[in-house]
Amino acid sequence: MGTTNNLWFDVAVMMTVFHVGNLFFGHFEAHKPVWKRLLKTALFLVFVLTMSYYGLRTIAYSIIFGLGTFMVVYVHGYWLPKNGVNGLTAEPLDKYYELIGYNASSKK
């Protein structure tokens, strides 16, 4: 078995986090183009790999998981429901799109 102290371990962890996140929260970004979602994944991965390369893995993971926790707790648990949108389903969809500034009618 390999060691967890290498960059491939970081790739596996980040890809797992993004995969699970997309399974549970992907519907919140369904309106975004695929290239933007892929770019976000790539940027986070490069950030973690760069930090890990320089021995700052703990800081990198703290930042990533801190942002994730903030998004889940604050945005999905407080801000969306406060503005009349279900934090788990993003319904009603038109109200969710209005909150994030997305014009769904111009994209049809």
Q: pLDDT tens digits for 1-24?
A: 577 888 999 999 999 988 998 888
Q: Where in the chain are the domains? A: 7-107
Please write the tens of the pLDDT for every residue from 62-108. Answer: 998 898 899 889 988 999 999 999 988 888 988 988 998 888 776 65
Contacts 24+ apart (CB under 8 A), 2-11: 7/49, 7/52, 7/53, 10/48, 10/49, 10/52, 10/57, 11/45, 11/49
Q: How far is CA 105 from CA 22, 34, 42, 79, 83, in A?
A: 25, 19, 30, 24, 21
